[in-house]
Amino acid sequence: MSRRLLSCLWCGREIIESDAGRRRRYCRQSCRQRAYEHRNSLKGTGIPDDSVVLSAHEAANLADRWFAARCAAEDVATAIDEGATLEELRALGKALVELARDAERLR
């Protein structure tokens, strides 16, 4: 299965494509505005204007969300090893998908 995530260039959240119109780069107007302000703030700094700059707090939160997703994946693996029921696996799988989806965002 090969799918590509179309994600907002500012916040990283998934962009839901509307079937008409050109490809969107931001999930919402406020993200477009924040990205514009960010590009302006980088002028003259030598930092490429397409850089993804996260605060230490945002980076730590991103790492925390991925860690939660990894723990949920390990829970699924453990449950399989221990012969969990389909119902238990279904619940663990659902939790994993939700955490992984939350981990996609940058901010």
CB of 103 to Zn ion, least distance (A): 15
The number of angstroms, rounded, from the C-alpha of 76 to the middle of its chain's C-alpha atoms is: 21
Q: Which of 67, 75, 66, 107 is nearest to 94 (CA)?
A: 75
Could you say whether residue 35 binds Zn ion (CB under 5 A)?
no
Site mask, Zn ion, residues 1-30, x = CB under 5 A? -------x-xx-x-------------x---
CB of 11 to Zn ion, least distance (A): 3
Shortest gap between Cβ of 22 and Zn ion (angstroms)? 17
CA–CA separation, 62 and 102 (whole Å): 9
